[in-house]
Structure 1
Amino acid sequence: MRGMRLHKREIHDADIFREILKECDVVRLGLRDEEGVFIVPVNYGYDFAEKNGERTLTLYIHGAGEGRKADAIAADSRVAVEMDCRHEIITGDYTCSYSYAYRSIMGNGVIQRLEKPEDKMYGLTKVMEHLAPDAEISFREEVLVRTEVFRIDVERFTGKERRRK
């Protein structure tokens, strides 16, 4: 992945990556089809780990098995991801001295549809743990059969942060 232009804003701390993953509600998927490039905001669950300085990020999403998003995924498994949080306008003394505070993760990887019921349940459990951590998790077979679950193996990602001074 290309190096970040403003190195001072790059996130290196795994705990800050975990905070961003926990705080964000939506990941935006960058997909491509015959009509062009498009973005889809979706809720997600995740696995994030760091071992021997190596970080891994896996995202889980769900959705319909048909439509533009599903067709694009079936045609091309490459995907870009972006999520951001802690939005705040930083005021200035004049127009061009205003700025914006945020935290973000951007990356790219490969998306695949999960087929096995146990894989789908795992992915949906991750989504529920992220969005509704106190909810009781149970699955009805007839719903699980018609729900599409996707796993995104994020191969390269970076984090960036702009804080209020």
Structure 2
Amino acid sequence: MSTSPLSPTERTTVRRMRERARSERSALYEVLDSGMVCHLGIVIDGTPRVIPTGYGRVDDTLYVHGSTGSAGLRTAPSQEICVTVTLVDGIVLGRSVVHHSMNYRSAMIYGVPRLLTDPEEKLAGLRAITEHIAPGQWTTARLPTRKELASVAVLALSLEEASVKTRTGGPKDEEEDYALDVWAGVLPVRQTFGEPVPDDRLRPGIPVPPHIADRAHAS
């Protein structure tokens, strides 16, 4: 895993609100490891599309997957794509509606993805995605058959060209507005997990595995 700082490019250099830019590669890892859904931006037949999907990370490689029938995944390896992940940490409420905002952490990655064709590498990519969304599940559930593996497309995208931007803190009101009798502050936003709900066809006597129960109770 690289500990080097992010290398700014023309596309990843933050120009507006530069103080919110983060240059540490660890900040990129933190955003990606905390999120669950990424948005893959791609142009298909001249039309831009933004596709939400699950993902996983191993060192400086991001993995996304989908059906081999997906036009987005078929087209992606032939062009530059943009992948984003955004986490909302709070709603910032100002004394003026103009100064309402959000506290957030976001990452943007550019590059040409690589379609994985080697079965072992494809399995490694799927494991990264599965373990990111549901840690411990890869060694619990049945692994894909050869036919199932052939029906899935997995893309690998380098994290070489990426930017990170964050906002923290309270509202930044106009000086004269601090005298207003209007509540201002931050409403925190947190992601939590509820109690696991068993499948309707789950055979009796199968308990919730510890790696799922522990995650739910940790929330």
Q: For the superposition of Structure 1 and Structure 2, which TM-score range results when normalised by the shorter chain?
A: 0.7 to 0.9
Query: Does 2:137 align with 1:135?
Result: yes
- Determine which of 70, 76, 82 is the counterpart of 1:73: 76
Q: Which has the higher contact order (CA 8 A, sep 6+)?
A: 1
Q: What amino acid does structure 2 have at the position aligned with 1:149?
A: V
Q: What amino acid does structure 2 have at the position aligned with 1:17?
A: L
TM-score, normalised to structure 2, is: 0.66
Instruction: Give the unaligned 5+ runs of structure 2.
Output: 1-8, 171-219
Q: Does the residue aligned with 2:149 lie in a helix, a strand or coil?
A: helix
Q: Does the residue aligned with 1:136 lie in a helix, a strand or coil?
A: coil
Q: What amino acid does structure 1 have at the position aligned with 2:156?
A: R
Query: Does 2:66 align with 1:63?
Result: yes
Aligned to 2:49: 38
Aligned to 1:109: 111
Aligned to 1:154: 159
Aligned to 1:53: none
User: How far, CA to CA, are the matches of 1:116 and 1:36 in structure 2?
Assistant: 30
Q: 1:67 to 1:18 in 2, by over 3 A?
A: closer
Percentage identity across paired residues of the two chains: 26
Distance apart, 1:122 and its partner CA: 0.8
Q: Is the Cα–Cα contact under 8 Å of residues 33 and 57 in structure 2 kept in the other structure?
A: no
Instruction: Give the unaligned 5+ runs of structure 1.
Output: 49-56
TM-score, normalised to structure 1, is: 0.85
Give the strand-richer structure, 1 or 2.
Answer: 1
Over the residues paired in the alignment, what is the CA RMSD in angstroms? 1.7
Q: Does the residue aligned with 1:44 lie in a helix, a strand or coil?
A: strand
Q: What amino acid does structure 2 have at the position aligned with 1:95?
A: V
